[in-house]
Amino acid sequence: METRRRSVVKAVVWNLMGLVMMTLVGLIATGSAAVGGGLALVNTAIGLTLYVIYERVWAGISWGRNG
């Protein structure tokens, strides 16, 4: 089982990568770095929260593990 800290660090790194990509997509779609960045921040906050919950739920499920 992985620690809560490891789950959070993984989620933060993953979401930082997503934040950069969503900012670029938002910039391309709207032509505005501010609007694109705002959309990316909202998306990242929601995604980070849900990802941490998702990882913790799966950490407690033994199905499919060896050992």
Query: How does pLDDT run across 4-49, given as a tens digit for each residue?
Result: 888 888 888 988 898 899 889 989 999 998 998 898 889 888 988 8
Report whether pLDDT(67) > 80.
no
What's this model's pTM, rounded to 2 decimal places?
A: 0.63
Cβ 22 vs Cβ 43: under 8 Å: yes
Hey, where are the domains in the chain? Answer: 4-59
Cβ 44 vs Cβ 18: under 8 Å: yes
Cα–Cα distance measured from residue 29 to residue 10, given in angstroms and rounded to the nearest whole number: 28
Cα–Cα distance measured from residue 48 to residue 29, given in angstroms and rounded to the nearest whole number: 23
Query: Angle formed by the axes of helices 4-30 and 33-59, to 10°?
Result: 150
